[in-house]
Amino acid sequence: MTQPSATALLDADFMSKLDQLNLVSRKIFTGRMKGERRSKKKGFSVEFADYRDYVAGDDLRFIDWNIYARLDKLFLKLFYEEEDLHIYVLVDGSESMSFGSPAKFDYARKVAAALGYIGISNTDRVSVQALSADGFQVFPLARGKRMVWKMFDFISGLKCAGGTALAHSCRQFSLRNRGKGVLVIISDFFDKNGYEDGLKQFLVGSMDVFVLHLLAAEEVDPVMVGDLRLIDVEDADVAEVSVTAGLLKSYKQNLAVFCERLREYCTSHGFSYLFASTAVPFDQLVLNYLRRAGMFK
Amino acid sequence: MGQFLDPAAFGLLGLLPVIVVFYILKLKRKQYVVSSTFLWKKSVDDLRVNAPFQKLKQNLLLFLQLLILALAVFALARPFMKLRGFEGQSLILLIDTSASMKATDVEPSRMEAAKQMVIEMVDDMSRGDKMMVITFDVKSATVCSLTTDRGLLRNVIGTLEAKDTRTSIHEALSIAAAAAATQDWPEIVIVSDGRFADLPSDFDTRAKLSFVSVGRRGHNVGIVGLEPRKNIDVGQDYEVFAKVQNSTANDFRGVVEFHVNGQLADAKEVQVPKGERVSVLFDRPGLTDGVVQAKLTEKDDLAVDDEAWIVLAPDRKTTVLLVTTGGNYFIEKVLDKDQTLRHERITPERYESLSAIDREKFDLIVFDGATPSRLPDEGRYLFLDAVPIELGFEVTGEMEGTGILDWSRAHSANRFVSFANLQVNRAQMVKYPKWAEQILEAEGGPLILSIDRGQTRALVTTFDLFESDWPLRLSFPLFVANAMQWLGGRDRLTAGEQVATGDLYSFIPDRGVQAYTLTLPGGDTTTLPVGEERRLLFGAADRVGLYVLSAPEQQDRFFAANLLDANETNSAPRDSFQVGGQTVAGTKEPVEANREVWHWLPAGGLPPGMAEWYIYHRRGFI
């Protein structure tokens, strides 16, 4: 697979569109650094939230002197603290993602780059990680526009290899990233052991989980004829089929059931499920589709 | 259907397993990498559960290939269907024009029905088909040689008419077989009611033989014999026997009318059980000459055999020529005594110098101890102690003192004769042809033989009268008198005046006559000029009835042509006939050719072939 350069991955025209997008989170998160996002945590910002009694050690700068003058009591002004958001973009880096034209992995990388760019543009902290049975490739949490190009370089350098081990990968991720934030996982969820054990791991944290179920156009609507020996790209498993209209119909039914089960699992566990096909042009997905799905303002 | 010209081709069905093997070998699946196989496996499993015919559907291509092969093999087996008409063939039609085809059991007659069917066959001719038309009755005629001209064929067939004659198919078949031998796809079709003798067992043709049977039923009573006989009791008077045959399914009761010179003379009631013959006797005092007509008055399917004529000539003495070296007292004595005979005696040398015409003046010739160097083709002979090599006899030796073993009491010459106690001292041993009949047999071999073949009748005695006591016995004059009657008697006389329809009538014209006018039964006349030949022949007597020969200053001469054929009278159509021990079954329809249908099969193989191509390229959508 040719590794697209950063410019090929995201052109300038597309990035200017991304600037206009804000990442939306339905929860208000805490963050270590103040960002542009209002937090439930009251603290020190410009927007007034409440008063509380002064206790020794509080910052004198936030005492409301007007109240003291009238009531002769020390009250402390509380403001909504603005904090930055942690955005984790997890890209399935297993071999199965290399399937399709364009390859699902390329498509997923573009989406990841776009999401990362949007996050960074909104002064959020962004981490991009590729996960597969072979191990993690991690771009650690970063903020600031100067990090964008580093992130793009990282994304360009990502490789997909190895099998899918969602349960293991997700567990590893959860252990390492205990914080709150937005988690976007982009995968085809073709895990022969099932996706449930993997997604279950995200219930532990308090992350806002978006499941982007990405399938190649060839998977949604296969164009294959004849007597074929289907080889699984990950484990070299073999299925011999004679492609007939009946078989294709059956396949599509099974695929629909698979997607529907995944969607049901996600909604019942508080995850947002989004289905995407590589047939949808990538910028359209990011600009319209994800926005409609509630990921952006 | 279901018939094949080349069933051996079915051996090629052995290729079916080969295709299956090839198919299995060919089924090396193309490798195709997918992101995951688990959905596919599930789908395949689902299909196996839900669609029992999935296997078949998966192997649709295989089945189509097997179907194409099966069709191809089927085509190679050259199946044919019975279709009307014929294709690229030479059809040789033999059309029966004998008397029985005049039967009206099918409207309007068998002949017309046959013509209708034949014209349908002409209409069914395809481009390149040829047809030949041969008619057969007692004679055969090629009325149209092989042609593709349908208009000509229709015209020729339209003019065909049945004649009053009996049926003889052999000559027509020989012509047909000869014509068929030069053709690629010959078929001989016999259109007839089947009233002909079975074909000889050695008849062989490469052509296919078909038989279109015409006629519906046999409902006919006819006269199959009309014979005069001298009434011994009443001197010169004739009696006439008419034989009536009933070929209907019921017993017949009817009337036979006898007309003499056109006047009704008698009507006899006759009862004939079904399938049998009964003779009716007509006798009338003073019947010595004239024309007697017998007539059945009942209507039936066939009219031609309801009438028959006989011409009774005024009695005249039988002329006998005795050829003897030194005279024979005993034989001459007997000949002298017989009032019906007139004889002349000549030496063998004189006989040899006689012209043919002079010889024909005699009704019969008696050779006494002398064998002529040659015999005319036809004649009546009594050989006494003479063995005619001309007739196929051969002397092999002598026998002595032989005793009588037996004699044929049924033979006319042996009527009232007993050879018991006859002593024969010495006789010649002969080898005789197979058509000769022993009528007196001794221990050592035949003593008297009889030949009745064609127009020739002969009696041959192999012993010298003087070497036996025969002349002294009563049996001798009786035998000679019988022999004279049988050999040269009245039946020969009358036979000359009546012929079977279609046969040649020959007669010796009266002196001085330049030409005869012949009036045919229908009233038409024709002129027969008398040329150098001293014998006139008329071969067109193919209508039943009385023919009148008239010439200036001469008495009219009559002769009759009669059908008198039991086979024609029995007009029941046959459904099949035998040829070479094989049965050819008849059809009631215009002939159906074995139209090969194999070329439809490759055409039939085209849709599966196209389907295979389509399915191959549209797999996944079907």
Q: Which residue of chain B comes nearest to A227, CA vs CA?
A: B29
Three-class HEC string of B324-349? ECCCCHHHHHHHHHCCCEEEEEECHH
CB-CB under 8 Å, B27 with A247: no
Nearest-angstrom CA–CA distance, A83 and A34: 4
Rounded to whole angstroms, how far apart are CA atoms A175 and A168? 11
The stretch B193-216 carries a mean pLDDT of: 81
* DSSP letter assigned to residue A60: G
Residues B175, B162 share a domain: yes
Min Cα–Cα distance to chain B from A232, Å = 5
* Domain assignment present for B453: yes
CA B207/CA B184 separation, integer angstroms: 9
Taking an 8 Å cut-off on Cβ atoms, the answer to whether A244 and B619 are in contact is: yes
CB contact under 8 A, B620 and A245: yes
Instruction: Name B260's bridge partners.
Output: B263, B292
Whether B556 is covered by a domain: the verdict is no
B51 has a chain A CB within 8 A of its CB: yes
Asked if B32 reaches chain A (Cβ–Cβ under 8 Å), the answer is yes
**Which pLDDT does position A8 carry in this prediction?**
62
| H/E element, B537 | strand B536-538
Cross-strand partners of B426: B400
Label residue A270 exposed, middle or buried (CB < 10 Å: 0-12, 13-18, 19+).
exposed
Range of the domain at B405: 364-488
Phi-psi region of B392 (alpha: psi -120 to 50; beta: other; left: phi over 0): left
Q: Could you tell me the two tokens for A6?
A: 């950063």
Which residues from B are below 8 Å from A97, CB to CB? Answer: 35
Mutation site for A-interface testing, chosen from B29, B40, B59 by largest number of A Cβ within 10 Å: B40
| SS3 of residue B319 by DSSP | strand
pLDDT of residue B496: 55
Q: Where do we find the tokens 């011999």?
A: A240
Is there a single domain that holds both residue B69 and residue B130? no
Do B22 and B70 share a domain, yes or no? yes
DSSP secondary structure string for all residues of B180-228: HTT-SSEEEEEEE---SPPBPTT---SSEEEEEE--S----EEEEEEEE
Which chain A residues contact residue B47 at CB under 8 A?
246-247, 250
Chain B residue closest to A164 (CA)?
A: B36
Percent of chain B surpassing pLDDT 70: 89
Going by C-alpha positions, the residue among B189, B193, B221 that lies closest to residue B98 is B193
What are the residues whose beta carbons fall under 8 Å from the beta carbon of B370, sequence distance 6 or more? Answer: B323, B324, B325, B348, B351, B386
**All residues at 6 or more sequence positions from B27 whose CB lies less than 8 Å from its CB, including other chains:** A227
**pLDDT of B1 higher than 80:** no
Please report the DSSP string for B80-100 in residue order: EEEEEB-SS-EEEEEEE-SGG
Question: What is the structure's pLDDT at B342?
Answer: 85
With CB atoms and an 8 Å threshold, state whether B35 touches A216.
yes
Two tokens at B155?
Answer: 């015209």
**Domain shared by B269 and B391, yes or no:** no
Cβ contact B302:B320 at 8 Å? no
Q: Which residue has the higher pLDDT, B511 or B166?
A: B166
User: Which one of B34, B56, B613 would you mutate to disrupt binding with A, by most A Cβ within 10 Å of its Cβ?
Assistant: B34
pLDDT tens figures, B349-401: 888 888 877 887 788 899 998 888 877 767 889 999 888 888 888 899 888 87
Q: Tens of pLDDT along B99-157?
A: 999 999 888 899 999 999 898 888 888 777 889 999 998 888 999 988 888 899 999 99
Whole-angstrom distance, CA of residue B87 vs CA of residue B127 = 8
Is B372 in the same domain as B470? yes
Q: Which two tokens stand for residue B516?
A: 């005869």
Residues of B in contact with A224 (CB under 8 A): 32, 620
Tokens read off for A223: 């164009």
On whether both B412 and B431 belong to a single domain, the answer is yes
- Whole-number Å distance between alpha carbons of B281 and B119: 46
- Same structural domain, B418 and B444: yes
Structural tokens at position B374:
């040659």
Strands B318-324 and B364-368, bridge-based pairing: parallel
Nearest to A229 among B31, B618, B619 (CB): B31
Minimal CA separation from A80 to chain B, in Å: 48
Q: What is the pTM of this model?
A: 0.46
Q: Which residues are paired to A210 by β-bridges?
A: A184, A272
Q: How many domains does chain B have?
A: 4
CB pair distance less than 8 Å for A240 and B46: no
**Is B166 buried (19+), middle (13-18) or exposed (0-12) by CB count in 10 A?**
buried
B192 and B234 share one domain: no
Q: Report the candidate in B113, B155, B112 with the shortest Cα–Cα distance to residue B133.
A: B155
Residue at B509 is within a domain: no
* Pick from A216, A231, A247: CB nearest B43: A247
Residues B235 and B169 placed together within one structural domain of the fold: no
- Provide the CATH number for the domain around residue B269: 2.60.40.10
Top pLDDT among B99 and B238 is at: B99
B48: contact with A, CB 8 A cutoff = no
Min Cα separation B25/chain A (Å): 13
pLDDT in tens, A141-194: 888 878 888 888 888 888 888 777 888 888 888 888 877 788 889 998 888 888
Residues of B in contact with A254 (CB under 8 A): 39, 42-43, 46
- Chain A contacts of B58, Cβ < 8 Å? 227, 242, 244
Predicted confidence at residue A260, as pLDDT, reads 93
B33 touches chain A (CB under 8 A): yes
Cβ contact (<8 Å) for A229 and B30? Answer: yes
Q: In what order do the strands lie in the sheet with B445-453?
A: B341-346, B318-324, B364-368, B380-384, B456-461, B445-453, B436-442, B404-407
B587–chain A nearest CA distance, Å: 54
> B425 is written with which tokens?
């001292």
Residue B166 phi, psi (nearest 5): -75, 180
Question: B52 to chain A: nearest residue by CA?
Answer: A246
* pLDDT number for residue A80: 63
| Total residues found in chain B within this entry | 622
Kind and range of the H or E run holding B177: helix B170-180
Residue A56, classed as helix, strand or coil, is: coil
DSSP conformation class of A141: E
Residue B447 in this model has a pLDDT that exceeds 60: yes
- Of B32, B41, B621, nearest to A231 by CB-CB distance is B32
Chain B nearest CA to A30, separation (Å)? 39
Q: Which residues pair with B517 in a beta bridge?
A: B527, B550
- Asked if residue B516 belongs to a domain, the reply is no
Give, in words, the CATH class of A6-29+90-292.
alpha beta
CA-to-CA distance for A244 and A17, rounded, in angstroms?
A: 44
Cβ contact B267:B255 at 8 Å: yes
**What pLDDT shows up at residue B159?**
92
Tell me which chain A residues have a C-beta less than 8 angstroms from the C-beta of B50. 250
- Per-domain residue ranges for chain A? 6-29+90-292, 37-83
User: What band does A25 get if pLDDT is binned at 50, 70 and 90?
Assistant: very low
The pLDDT value recorded for residue B485 is: 82
Probe site for chain A from B25, B39, B614 (most A CB atoms < 10 A)? B39
* pLDDT surpasses 50 at A28: no
CB B553 within 8 A of CB B539: no
Considering only CB atoms, which chain A residues are within 8 Å of B612?
Answer: none
A 10 A CB-CB count for A232 gives: 22
Q: Nearest CA to CA, how far is B149 from chain A (Å)? A: 58
A46-49 own/partner pairs: CB under 8 Å, 24+ apart: A46/A79, A47/A79, A47/A80, A47/A82, A48/A77, A48/A78, A48/A79, A48/A80, A49/A78, A49/A79, A49/A80
Residue B206 lies in a domain: yes
Task: Give the residue on A whose Cα is nearest the Cα of B618.
Answer: A225
Position B375 scores a pLDDT of 78
| CA angle centred on A275, ends A273 and A280, rounded to 5° | 150
What is the rounded distance in angstroms from the CA atom of residue A94 to the CA atom of residue A187? Answer: 9
Q: From chain B, pick out residues whose CB is under 8 angstroms from the CB of A225.
A: 617-620
Q: Does B264 touch chain A (CB under 8 A)?
A: no
Instruction: Say whether A246 and B619 touch across the interface (CB within 8 A).
Output: no
For chain A, percent of residues with pLDDT exceeding 70: 79
**What phi and psi values does residue B52 have, to the nearest 5 degrees?**
-65, -25
CA-based end-to-end distance of chain B: 35
Burial class (CB in 10 A: 0-12, 13-18, 19+), A122: buried
Does any CB of chain A come closer than 8 Å to the CB of residue B55? no
State pLDDT tens for residues B55-79: 555 677 778 888 888 888 877 777 7
Q: How confident is the model at residue B13 (pLDDT cuts 50, 70, 90)?
A: confident
3-state SS record for B239-266: EEEEEEEECCCCCEEEEEEEEECCEEEE
The alpha carbon of residue B614 is apart from the nearest alpha carbon of chain A, in Å, by: 12
Q: From the CB of residue A215, how many other CB atoms can be counted at a distance below 10 Å? A: 25
Q: What percent of chain A has pLDDT over 90?
A: 8
Q: Are strands B252-260 and B290-296 parallel, antiparallel or unpaired?
A: antiparallel
Task: Find tokens 């776009």 and name the residue.
Answer: A114
CA atoms within 13 A on the CB side of A208: 15
Q: Hey, which of B5-14, B35-44, B356-365, B392-401 has the most confident mean pLDDT? A: B392-401
> Do A104 and B27 count as a contact with CB atoms less than 8 A apart?
no
Q: Contact at 8 Å (CB) between B440 and B514?
A: no
Q: Which helix (H) or strand (E) holds B292?
A: strand B290-296
Interface residue B53 vs chain A (CB under 8 A): no
**Cβ contacts of B34 on chain A, cutoff 8 Å:** 99, 219, 230-233
Tell me which residues of chain B, numbers 57 to 86, contact chain A at a CB-CB cutoff of 8 Å: 57-58
Contact list, A239 vs chain B (CB under 8 Å): 37, 40-41, 44
Q: What pLDDT does residue A249 have?
A: 86
Q: Do A255 and B39 touch (CB under 8 A)?
A: yes
Taking contacts as CB-CB distances below 8 angstroms, the residues of chain B near A241 are: 40, 43-44
**Who has greater pLDDT, A52 or B112?**
B112
Asked whether residue B91 falls in the same domain as residue B208, the answer is yes
Note whether A254 contacts B39, CB cutoff 8 Å. yes
Residues B171 and B288 in one domain: no
State how far residue B58 is from chain A, nearest Cα, in angstroms: 6
Mutate to test the interface with B, among A190, A218, A231, A244 (most CBs of B within 10 A): A244
Q: Where are the alpha helices (DSSP H) in A122-185?
A: 147-156, 166-176
Distances, alpha carbon A181 to alpha carbons A13, A34, A39, A196, in Å: 28, 14, 12, 21
Contact at CB, B32 and A224, closer than 8 angstroms? yes
Model confidence at B7, in pLDDT bands (50, 70, 90)?
A: confident
Q: Which residue of A has its CA nearest to B58?
A: A242
Cis peptide before B108 (omega within 30 of 0): yes
CA distance A148 to A154: 10
CA B67 to chain A, closest CA, distance in angstroms equals 20
Q: Is the ipTM of this complex over 0.90?
A: no
Tell me the two tokens of residue A146: 């100067």
* B132 within a domain of the structure (yes/no): yes
Copy the structure tokens of residue B574.
């046959």
